[in-house]
Chains A and B, each alone.
Chain A
Amino acid sequence: MANLPKATIQGLPSLKVTSPDQIPEAGLQLEADVLVIGSGAAGAVTAYELARSGARVLVLEAGPHIPSSEFEEHAPTALETLYQDHGNQVNTTGDLAILQGKCVGGSTVVNAAACFRAPNQVLADWATEHGLENLSPEALRPYFERVERNLSVHQNEPHEVNYNGRLLIEGAKKVGIPASPISRNIRDCALTGHCVSGCKTDRKQSMLVTYLPWASELGATILSGTRAESFDVSGRRVTAVRAVATDAAGKEKPVQVRAGLVVVAAGAVQTPLLFQRNKIGNSSGQIGLNFACHPSLAVFGEHENDIYAWVGATLSAQAGDIENPLRGGYLLEAGMVGPVITSAWIDGGVGSEFVEFMQNSKKFQAAVTLIHDHNVGRVYLDGDRKRIDYDLDDRDFESMREALRGTARIYFAAGARRVYLPTTRKTTIESADQVDSVINGLQNGKHRYRITSYHPQGTMRMGADATKSVVGPNGLCHDLDNVYVPDASLFPSSLLVNPQITVYTMASYISDQILARA
């Protein structure tokens, strides 16, 4: 009994995944109505929505299928097994970590569950600057509502806001910055604080426990460890996709899929690389350009008493002005992960001062910053090596400074005795009246800050003008008749807020567009 899959025991939809070990050595030749590349936020939603309409759907996922029962609630293990490049993906300069999931369920398996709709100001900008009048808040509302309902999105209840979250809200209110509990896609959260290592008990409503089992239940076939590599092209159509399944012994097996429709949902880094490698879809010259990533900084505030910021919901509360991303608005999210991440986020000095810093980490109030960054980056192939060129733009550095200033003011108002900034050499602010002078002294530059991106976006820009964008307003590639892109790569500009809900929403919307055109 104990060995039966949990879904069978409970009579819930079950996720059936074919692993590379189950594929014969000679490989596979398959046919489908719809081939979906990538099983993350966009791929899973599209697979379900199209399977629901009766289509024969096949999903190829490059990463492994790791059932939640095998999650170890240990960040180093999670990075190694669930993340792209084992957690080591960085920009060309090497001073920005770019995190993405690489597993069945994609980044949704390791994300922190924060839920926001795209701000109206961003959608208005997409309409005026990119001709996307179809994506007005009113037009998208039913799609937002649908995914939020399906994923049990709701604002954290009082018991889900830990001490760290309460300090953020109290401090923010004192200095006049709007703040509230954050919304998350969870059911009955057990408050373990392990979202970024995967939710072991299936409370986070990631694609692994929602849209993928639902698609599977409706007949969709899902292949893990199988990486799409090349396209057979005839005129304006992709007729087949060739992939490689790599089994546990490292043996590579060819998988070929003929499909009427191809949906590329490999995420904002891998989707453009796939198009570039196959030299298709790029008459605009825009593929891989316009990369943005919400460069994020962590800030710690040391208090007299213990806070244990890592206990409870991974993200509990938010502060900032999310309605004005285009006017320098920033977002702060209360949260902290274990010591590997703590010591990676902030430089606590060297020698005895570093030891003291780590001993004191339970006294830290902690939050991460998000900004609406400009699309200044580029993803491309340099031989067979991927490159992600992205250095902090001076305009974005100003927004970051504003976010740091806001965070430090909130922390001191909440009672912190010291604030640690995320510079590559230990920098502290010792009192509220030093906030401006210390932060004004920070300069933009390479290898000056410990920066992480959790939200790559923008490399397959959506827009009405085929000379300036890659994907049309309905998600169809301008240059191709049967290839759609529904993932985070299509955002014409960055959101400021965490993107998962907007990705699910766009994928639902594009699925409807596909069905309307079928």
Chain B
Amino acid sequence: MRTKLYRRSFTKLTVLTGASVLVVPACRDDAVTPPNELTLTSDERDLFERFAEVFLPTDGSSLKPRAEVPVVDNIEHAFTLMDAPTLEQVRIGLKLFDYGAVLIGLHFARFVHLSAQRRLDYIKRWEDGLEIQRGISTVLKKLVCYGYWKDIEAGRAIGYQGPVSKAGGIASLGNAPMPSATNG
């Protein structure tokens, strides 16, 4: 029974596990503007926090401490750029990841309740799993990366220059002159 539910939801999800830069597929003919109002549920916030904790452990490294970056708020913002049907599907994907640990009977506990080591192992199993598991784990990784490196100082901590033109006083060249009549 559990396996059936799991399979059905996964099949439904095949269209949704986007791999784009922000990773969230907007499938409407033209994406929504202006952004939706949206708040992540506490389960979703928990999932991203617990995922980021083991996926991107900044303690003891030269990276900007994750606690100083509003990673989950940034992800929430990315969610506001999705249209309603896409959002619904992405949310199913997140649930599957979180509850997959229970549903496929590996751990009998949600992902968010696993120990750090088990969470790491779980992510690695999904990376190597079925097509849909590979897709969902990639989505989660890309969203966390987006949420973290959206912060300009997080980029600077690894040597990335970030915006330069304004600070460097680089002048605009303006629009190009009209081509001469003979040139076209």
Segment with Cβ contacts to B, from A132-140, A176-184, A335-343, A408-416: A335-343
Set of chain B residues within 8 Å of A95, measured between Cβ atoms = 17, 19, 135, 138
Does A12 reach chain B (CB closer than 8 Å)? yes
Q: Within 8 Å CB of A99, what residues of B? A: 20-21
> Which range contains the number of A residues in contact with the other chain?
35 or more
Contacting residues, chain A, for B55 (C-beta < 8 A): 350-351, 354
Contact of A384 among B28, B34, B132, B158 (CB under 8 A): B28
Residue A120 interfacial (CB < 8 Å): no
Closest B-chain residue to A205, C-beta based? B176
A385 within 8 A of B: yes
Within 8 A of B (CB), among A201-258: 201-203, 205, 209-210, 213-214, 217, 227, 246, 248, 250
**Other-chain contact of A203, B18, B22, B23, B173 (Cβ < 8 Å):** B173
Number of B residues with CB within 8 Å of any CB on chain A: 73
Q: Which of A74, A209, A508 contacts B175 (CB under 8 A)?
A: A209
Instruction: State whether A446 touches B131 (Cβ < 8 A).
Output: yes
The segment from A28-36, A81-89, A111-119, A393-401 found at the interface with B is: A81-89
- Are B134 and A202 touching (Cβ within 8 A)? no
A270 contact set on B, CB distance < 8 A: 30
Inter-subunit contact B81/A88 (CB<8 Å): yes
A202 adjacent to B172 (CB under 8 Å)? yes
A-B pair count, CB < 8 Å, reads 253
Question: Would A79 and B175 count as touching, CB distance under 8 A?
Answer: no
Given contacts A74-B152, A84-B31, contact A350 B120 (CB under 8 A): yes
* A-chain residues with CB within 8 Å of residue B22 when the two chains form the complex: 76, 79, 86-88
Q: Judge whether A355 is part of the interface by a CB distance below 8 angstroms.
A: yes
Q: Does B41 contact A (CB under 8 A)?
A: no
List 20 additional A-B contacts (Cβ < 8 Å) besides A192-B170, A343-B141, A344-B23.
A62-B30, A73-B164, A76-B149, A86-B22, A88-B82, A89-B26, A90-B25, A97-B18, A97-B19, A200-B166, A201-B172, A340-B145, A341-B21, A350-B124, A359-B62, A424-B137, A445-B131, A446-B135, A447-B19, A450-B138
Interchain residue pairs with CB less than 8 A apart (22): A72-B163, A86-B31, A88-B18, A90-B25, A192-B170, A201-B173, A202-B174, A217-B178, A250-B33, A310-B161, A311-B161, A347-B138, A350-B54, A354-B55, A354-B56, A355-B58, A385-B29, A386-B30, A424-B137, A447-B17, A447-B138, A450-B138
- Write the residues of chain B forming the contact surface with A, with a CB cutoff of 8 angstroms: 14-31, 33-34, 54-58, 61-63, 81-82, 85, 120, 123-124, 127-128, 131-132, 134-135, 137-138, 141-142, 145-146, 149-150, 152, 154-155, 158-166, 168, 170-179, 183-184
